[in-house]
Structure 1
Amino acid sequence: MRLWSLHPSQLGRRALVAGWREALLAQKVLAGGTRGYTHHPQLQRFRATDDPLVAIATYLHALADDADARGYSFDRSRVSRPADEGLRLTVTGGQLDYEWQHLRAKVETRDPEWFEAVVVTARPKPHPLFDVVPGDVEPWEVR
């Protein structure tokens, strides 16, 4: 499960679609709807909020917003809650850089056009839910 801290606009088509599927799975896990992935480390930051289901829903809505901008059709009816536009989580700069390098390595070989058009010239931006704070790679990151 990879719940990118990167802005959805920086994800290629495959990463965006995979991120949508994985965040829907995370929503199911957080709702207690499955026994798998219940201890997945990437869920820690959502569980640490006052309402994990609103946090993951806010995350999902931002993915769907980017999908809409690209002309894709993500089924928002699968998101259990409305977005909380005022909700902010943090991500460390080290985590954002780590994910950026991870994404670059994946995209360079599997989607060279996206790599050249978006990734090679860009700097990492956070997902709209996250504010960047100083720090190394997050402790929940599995390397």
Structure 2
Amino acid sequence: MRLWSLHPELLDRQGLIAGWREALLAQAVLAGRTRGYRRHPQLARFADQRVPQREIGRYLVGLADEADRRGYRFDRARIDRPGPPGGQLTVTDGQLALEHRHLITKLAARSPELVDELGPARAHPLFVVTSGPPAEWERVRFDHEQ
């Protein structure tokens, strides 16, 4: 499961669609509708919130907004608690940088023509960026970081 902290406009088609599906799964986990993935590290930042379902709903709205911009049709009726995606959670600049490098690696393999067009790391509208290292729950590491 990858719940990108990056702005959805940075994701390619596959990344945006996969992100939508994975965020819907995360929503089901946080709502207690499924037993799998309950301990997944990327859920921690949502599960630690006062109203986790509201925050994952805001995250999903940000993905759906980008899908609309591209002319895709994500079913917003599947969002349990939709709300404005404005910054509520924090993400560190170190986490964004790590995810940006991870996305570049993925794009180089599946959509190399998009790598040069990617642009700088920006956060999903749900997140407010703070200074700091990658999140402790992050499992992706690159050779030079291990």
Same fold per superposition (TM over 0.5): yes
CA distance in 1, matches of 2:4, 2:136: 15
Gaps of 5+ in 1: none
Contact 1:57 1:82 in 2 (8 A): yes
2:108 maps to 1:111: no
Gaps of 5+ in 2: 141-146
1:8-66, Cα deviation, whole Å (9 max, x unpaired): 00000000000000000000000001110000010110011110000000000000000
Please name the residue that 1:4 is paired with.
Answer: 4
Contact 1:93 1:134 in 2 (8 A): yes
| One-letter amino acid of the structure 2 residue matched with residue 74 of structure 1 | F
2:128 maps to 1:141: no
Contact 1:55 1:87 in 2 (8 A): no
Distance 1:63 1:114, change over 3 A: same
Deviation at 1:108, TM superposition (A): 1.4
| One-letter amino acid of the structure 2 residue matched with residue 126 of structure 1 | A
* Range with bigger deviation, 79-88 or 61-70: 79-88
RMSD: 1.1
CA distance in 2, matches of 1:43, 1:84: 20
Deviation at 1:86, TM superposition (A): 5.1
Q: Could you tell me the percent identity over the aligned residues? A: 54
Deviation at 1:135, TM superposition (A): 0.6
TM-score by length of 2: 0.92
Distance 1:64 1:28, change over 3 A: same
CA distance in 1, matches of 2:51, 2:80: 12
Please name the residue that 1:76 is paired with.
Answer: 76
Tell me how many residue pairs correspond in the alignment. 140
Deviation at 1:113, TM superposition (A): 2.3
